[in-house]
């Protein structure tokens, strides 16, 4: 077996591979070997708070050129070692509301995966070119057919959202909201039923998603102290 030691500047890997493919017949295998090494090195030198295997290994072929030369890149992206295509997995922005009506908290039962059947707070993903506040009002209306009377930002929590086998990393923004009128309240969209319960009666174990449980703990702290707080511990 022939071993070749290749020294190349990290930002020139694409040019290096193209040059090698011109002069070495078994170029594809060599290219993949370099990619694997390159990807591993990048992973080891980057942050480790991402899952090691998802979503980076869910894609095998480059969406641009079709070559199976993808490797993890820059901590949260995949890059094609053949054509240089780069796709970043940026956090998706989501919003959720602690909707309060006459001291009761509004919850819905999730009608679809992930976390089907679990209790969830009104909310959803922010659309392109939409503000978080508008997204919140839109989602609350789409799911429960009511209009928010007020909203105030509480806190954000990261979350993992597994959909159709693909992991989405999200940043969930939580707001405290009030409604003055629930006469039109009914479940729609992907919610199968609703509950209006006192906050202290909510079963934490039945809440969907880690971010939902974390945010609910924060919400209870807000009720105790009467102030939305972002304390030092949360910034670690
Ligand atoms: Zn490519």
pLDDT tens, residue order, the chain (236 aa): 444 444 545 445 555 544 444 444 343 333 333 333 333 322 222 233 445 677 888 888 999 999 999 999 998 899 999 999 999 999 999 999 999 999 999 999 999 999 999 999 999 999 999 999 999 999 999 999 999 999 999 999 999 999 888 899 999 999 999 999 999 999 998 899 999 999 999 999 999 999 999 999 999 988 887 555 555 455 43
* Cis peptide upstream of residue 137 (ω within 30 degrees of 0): no
**What CATH number is associated with residue 199?**
3.90.79.10
Domain final position from 56, 88, 120: 88
Distance CA 90, CA 44 (A): 20
The range of the structural domain enclosing residue 181 comes to: 92-228
Please give the full DSSP string across 108-122, using - where no structure is assigned: EEE-SSSSTTSEE-S
From ligand 1's centre to the CA of 86, what distance in Å?
Answer: 9
Q: Do 83 and 100 sit in the same domain of this protein?
A: no
Q: Same structural domain for residues 59 and 107?
A: no
Same domain, 180 and 82: no
Gap from CA of 163 to ligand 1 centroid (Å): 25
Task: Indicate whether 234 belongs to any domain.
Answer: no
- Where is the domain boundary, 48, 69, 88? 88
Predicted pLDDT of residue 220: 93
pLDDT score of 48: 34
Instruction: Using the mean position of ligand 1's atoms as its centre, give its distance from the Cα of residue 7 in Å.
Output: 22
Decide if 56 contacts 72 (C-beta within 8 A).
Answer: yes
**How many angstroms separate the alpha carbon of residue 72 from the centre of ligand 1?**
13
What is the distance, to the nearest Å, from the Cα of residue 107 to the centroid of all Cα atoms in its chain?
Answer: 21
End-to-end CA distance of the chain: 49
Do residues 157 and 120 share a domain? Answer: yes
Dihedral over Cα of 101, 198, 208, 194: its sign: negative
Residues 201 and 112 in one domain: yes
pLDDT (0 to 100) of residue 229: 53
73 with 42: CB under 8 angstroms?
Answer: yes
| Claim to verify: residue 24 and residue 51 sit in the same structural domain | yes
Q: How far is the CA of 89 from the centre of ligand 1 (A)?
A: 17
- Output the CA 13–ligand 1 centroid distance in Å: 13
Does residue 3 lie in a domain region?
Answer: no
Ligand 1 centroid to 77 CA: how many Å?
Answer: 14
What distance in angstroms lies between residue 17's CA and the mean position of ligand 1's atoms?
Answer: 12
| Domain stop point among 64, 88, 112 | 88
Please check whether residue 236 lies inside any domain of the structure.
no
Cα(11) to centroid(ligand 1), Å? 16
Alpha helix segments (H runs only) across the chain: 13-23, 27-44, 132-144, 210-225
**Distance of CA 3 from the midpoint of ligand 1 (Å):** 26
On whether residue 233 sits in a domain, the answer given is no
């Amino acid at each position: 077996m022939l071993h070749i030691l290749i020294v190349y500047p990290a930002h020139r890997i694409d040019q290096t591979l193209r040059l090698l493919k011109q002069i070495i017949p078994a170029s594809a295998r060599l290219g993949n070997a370099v990619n694997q090494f390159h990807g591993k090195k990048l992973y080891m030198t980057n942050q480790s708070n991402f899952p090691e295997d998802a979503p980076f290994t869910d894609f095998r072929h480059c969406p641009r050129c079709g070559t199976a030369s993808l490797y993890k890149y820059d901590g949260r992206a995949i890059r094609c070692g053949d054509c240089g295509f780069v796709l970043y997995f940026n956090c998706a922005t989501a919003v959720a509301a602690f909707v309060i009506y006459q001291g009761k908290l509004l919850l819905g039962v999730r009608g679809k995966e992930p976390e089907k059947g679990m209790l969830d707070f009104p909310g959803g993903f922010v659309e392109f070119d939409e503000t978080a506040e508008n997204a919140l009002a839109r989602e609350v209306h789409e799911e429960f057919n009511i209009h928010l009377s007020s909203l105030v930002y509480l806190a954000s929590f990261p979350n993992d959202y597994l959909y159709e086998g693909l992991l989405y990393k999200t940043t969930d923004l939580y707001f405290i909201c009030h409604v003055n009128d629930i006469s039109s309240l009914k479940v729609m969209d992907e919610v199968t039923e609703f509950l209006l319960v006192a906050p202290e009666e909510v079963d934490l174990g039945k809440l969907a998603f880690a971010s939902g449980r974390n945010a609910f703990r924060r919400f209870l702290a807000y009720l105790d102290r009467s102030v939305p707080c972002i304390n030092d511990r949360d910034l670690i």
